[in-house]
Amino acid sequence: MAAPPTPAPDPHWRRNLRVLWWTQLVAVSGMSLILPFLPLFVRQLGPGLDLAQVQRWSGAIFAAPFLFAAVMTPLWGWVGDHSGRKVMVVRALVGLSAAIFLMAFARTPGQLLLLRILQGMVSGFIPAAIALVSASAPRDELGYALASMGSSQAGGVVAGPLLGGVLADLLGYRALFLLTAAIELAAAVGVAILINERQRPAGRERPPTLIENARHAARTPIPVALVGLFLTQLSILVVQPFLALYVESLGAAARHLSTTTGVVFGITGLATLFSAPHWGRWSDRIGRRRALVLTFAGGGGVFLLQSAVHHVAWLFVLRLLQGILAGGMLPALYAVIATHTPERQRGGVMGFGSSATLLGGLAGPILGGYLAARIGMRPVFVVSAGLLALNAVNALRMPPDREPRLPAPRRSWELPTQ
């Protein structure tokens, strides 16, 4: 099916992209301050737990927000199509701030699990920001715009663990929750003040219902992209619950364990930060299907190698390569959805994409925690490699891109300046 016609681009799209880029960088940095060290925090909350129990609790706590967010995100996207996407971005950041603030006072793993569920119900900043950007950017800049947002997210994943590792060793985990809550609230204020969302014409037709959004998606290549989003997130997050414990098993010094784990986490995001805009421009030119097959196949090979390392330094190198390839995955899949969806229902249909990503995030940590406890940590990396190989086969089901080929790209590490 031919992609739907797109209205004239929002004259404020470049400014909004810059603001949302920096806002997402700050917000994701805040969320990432504590995530790499959740298994260590769980062990602190449950000092009587053995290693297998810590792994299971960590998997559930990692996954908890994803289940409820997967259910709520299409609804929040539909509300955004009615009431405006800027409102949804602010709402998500305020809700996230409140949930994380309460986590600072958790006393048991069960309490932390309940608060992570609350976080999933009220959050949704990233899909709301993606919907806002994709609804305003011109069609021939869409891959670049979404890849720029992907690089922003990756930058937050870099800054959060690196800073969080140092702060965790110096201040403790509870202080990180309080700091994160303050960061999310500041980001909400910044969006409320600086973002200029295009006014919708008076008397415009009503946004489609959730059922109409689903019917539209079913008639396009969007279901293939949804499977891709699910498998991508599943393959990445299946190793996250025990990665800190894996770093420890490779001989990292105990007194610097949080810092070392933060570096191993952060290098992946740093590589994605710089590679994502390049992948975005390249996929706009050569086709998203080709770029996706290449990144998925390469990523599977890198995960396979991670299962065989015996020193933290080699894990660091492979996580760097993983980050380079990851920059071409999720943004390209979201661009496929955006190019086959009319602007008036972009938020609702993007919500399905976010739900697929969140469901992968739900299944990944649970599966990873269970498998690590049953068969050990190294075989789980092999499972992740197999999932990405399967995703490469799935990407081949996409029709060839019919996008106009762009001229030579601008320097892709730079955000638009006008």
**What are the residue ranges of helices labelled H in 84-172?**
85-103, 109-122, 125-136, 142-171
Summarize pLDDT for 317-345 with one digit per residue, the tens: 999 999 889 888 888 888 888 888 877 77
> 351-382: string of b/e by CB count within 10 Å (b at 16+)?
bbbbbbbbbbbbbbbbbbbbbbbeeebeebbb
At 270, the amino acid letter reads L
Residue 99 tokens, joined: 């949930």
Identity of the highest mean pLDDT range in 34-38, 106-110, 162-166, 361-365: 106-110
pLDDT band for position 390 (cuts 50, 70, 90):
very high
Q: For residue 43, what are the domain limits?
A: 13-197+221-395
Q: What is the pLDDT of residue 4?
A: 47
In a domain, 232, yes or no: yes
User: What digits encode the pLDDT tens for the residues 73-116?
Assistant: 777 877 777 777 788 889 889 998 999 899 989 988 889 999 98
Q: What is the pLDDT of residue 410?
A: 42
Distance CA 269, CA 74 (A): 27
**Which has more pLDDT, 90 or 248?**
90
Residue type, 86: K
Q: Which of 232, 251, 227, 234 is nearest to 380 (CA)?
A: 234
* Contact criterion met (CB below 8 Å) for 123 and 65: yes
- Is the pLDDT score of 5 beyond 60? no
Alpha-carbon Rg for the chain, nearest whole angstrom, is: 20
The stretch 200-227 carries a mean pLDDT of 75
What is the three-class DSSP state of 1?
coil
CATH of the domain at 262: 1.20.1250.20
Q: Is residue 8 part of a domain?
A: no
- Average confidence (pLDDT) over 188-211: 72
The answer to whether residue 191 sits within a structural domain is: yes
Total of domains in the chain: 1
Q: Give Cβ neighbours of residue 94 (< 8 Å, ≥ 6 apart).
A: 184, 185, 188
2 occurs within a structural domain: no
pLDDT at 372 over 70: yes
- Residue 56 phi, psi (nearest 5): -70, -45
Considering 8-17, 73-82, 176-185, 199-208, the range whose residues carry the highest mean pLDDT is: 176-185
Span 111-139, pLDDT tens digits: 999 998 898 888 777 777 877 887 777 77
Q: Range with the lowest mean pLDDT among 100-104, 186-190, 258-262?
A: 258-262
Confidence category of residue 389, pLDDT binned at 50, 70, 90: very high
Tokens, residue 31: 């969320």
Q: Does residue 345 sit within a domain?
A: yes
The verdict on residue 233 lying in a domain is: yes
Average pLDDT over residues 239-267: 78
- 405 part of a folded domain: no
Of 410 and 222, the one with more pLDDT:
222
Per-residue CA distances from 181 to 57, 83, 175, 208, 308 (Å):
23, 26, 10, 35, 38
